[in-house]
Amino acid sequence: MKTYLTPDGLKKIREELEYLRLVERKRIAQELNLCQANENLEENSEYYDVREAQLALESRILELEDLVRNAVVVSKRQGNNLVCLGSTVLVKVGRKNKRFKVVGAEEVEPLAEKVSVESPLGKAIFHQPRGAIVEIETPQGRVQCKILKIQ
């Protein structure tokens, strides 16, 4: 399944993958070796905890490898007047202006104001021009949003 990412998003995924392969695998292997020094593994709960951590690590590595393998990197095109992946958008919601970056689902960071293209807001503004007014369904009801600026 294709995963749409910005260049920064792919870079972060590759960095995490490298860290997990080179640092975390070694750390868990060392912990396993220490646990295995205890001859009675049946009563060694720490050993089973480390094995669970190893399984979780390997699962995350496989997930990241799959993301990298299926990544479609989308760069913001200069001069594009439509909201696309990688666009920084200024919108007016009610009386407030909000700025955020539209990113792929794997790059979402709400605290860093990165919104998924697959979120209700992302879907509503995707491929819309500056000045467009879109409606978004929220838990509080429908909200109108006007696109003020696209960078």
Which string of DSSP letters, residue by residue, matches 91-108?
EEETTEEEEEEEE-GGG-
pLDDT at 19: 98
Q: Write the class of the CATH domain 3-73.
A: mainly alpha
CA distances (Å), origin 25, targets 3, 18, 59, 66: 26, 10, 12, 18
For helices 45-69 and 7-19, what crossing angle results, to 10°? 150
Query: What is the average pLDDT score of the chain?
Result: 89
pLDDT at 42: 67
Residue 67: closest CA among 8, 120, 19, 2: 2
pLDDT at 75: 74
**Digit-coded pLDDT (tens) for 74-98:** 876 655 689 988 899 999 988 899 9
pLDDT at 40: 65
Percentage of the chain modeled with pLDDT above 70: 93
| Range name among 49-53, 138-142, 147-151 with the lowest pLDDT average | 138-142
pLDDT at 35: 82
Q: Which CATH architecture has domain 88-150?
A: Roll (3.10)
Judged against a pLDDT cut of 90, whether residue 37 lies above it is answered with no
Every domain of the chain and the residues it spans: 3-73, 88-150
Residues in the chain, overall count: 151
